Amino acid sequence: MQLTLQEGIVESPEAQQQSSASSKHLENLKAGIREVAHEINNPLGIIRMAVYFLQTTNPSGDKREHYFKVIEEGLGRIEQSLQELKALRDDPSTRILDRQARDQQ
């Protein structure tokens, strides 16, 4: 059995492999979180724009309905993103985040 010295800690090859897999998994989770944040921020910007136009131009008829539809669609996208986050939270494979948070305390 060969041991490697890394930052003052001796790790077995198995521990290194597990650590590498955990790091890759964590990076994938971070990428997923960035994507969900992007999916929330985009519709928020669109909703803000629609509210601004509703407040400043006081549109009537079709334009007003259009802005309300834009707001409704944006809220739907945000809701979907939040559901995806909840699914990620409940995914057993994400428990690594819980362990790492405890280890850092």
Q: State residue 31's pLDDT score.
A: 85
pLDDT for res 79: 93
Alpha-carbon span 34 to 90, nearest angstrom: 18
pLDDT at 91: 75
* Residue 62 pLDDT: 96
Residue for token pair 């309300």: 68
Q: Give dist(CA 91, CA 1) in Å, integer.
A: 35
Give the chain's domains with CATH numbers.
Answer: 25-99 (1.10.287)
In this prediction, residue 99 carries a pLDDT of 55
Burial class of residue 32, CB neighbours in 10 A (0-12, 13-18, 19+) = middle
Per-residue pLDDT of the chain in tens (105 residues, 90 and over written 9): 455 555 555 567 666 666 777 788 888 888 887 888 888 999 999 999 999 999 999 999 999 999 999 999 999 999 998 888 888 778 766 655 555 555 555
Return all residues near 43 (Cβ < 8 A) that are at least 6 apart. Answer: 73, 74, 75, 77, 78
